[in-house]
Amino acid sequence: MAFSQDVIEELNLLLKFPAESLMQGLKIHHDATQSIVEAAARLYSKGLITQVDGGYLTDLGIDVVEHTRRINSAMNIKFN
């Protein structure tokens, strides 16, 4: 099963959450693209973030972001 475009947009949005501290969140501004606004709403409905317009990662969101960062890192390895 392939990743849908919606899931890809959600994963990309999760990667925007600050990695330095769990005390930092993300705010989706009114001028964000519709796809980002919709991705944030889906992440909220799935229980990965605390607010429909961003907020903080939930415990589940933290776990998913860790996996997402690992996958992203592995997929971006360049071989010579």
pLDDT in tens, the chain (80 residues): 999 999 999 999 999 999 888 789 999 998 999 999 999 999 999 999 999 999 999 999 999 999 999 999 999 998 87
Residue with tokens 């944030």: 40
Closest CA to 32 of 48, 51, 54: 54
Residue with tokens 């690992």: 70
How far is Cα 66 from Cα 2, in angstroms, rounded to an integer? 20
- Other Cβ atoms within 10 Å of 51 Cβ, number: 14
What per-residue confidence (pLDDT) applies to 30? 86
What per-residue string of b and e applies to 20-41 under the rule 16 or more CB within 10 Å gives b? Answer: eeeeeebebeeebeeebbebbe
> SS3 of 3, please?
coil
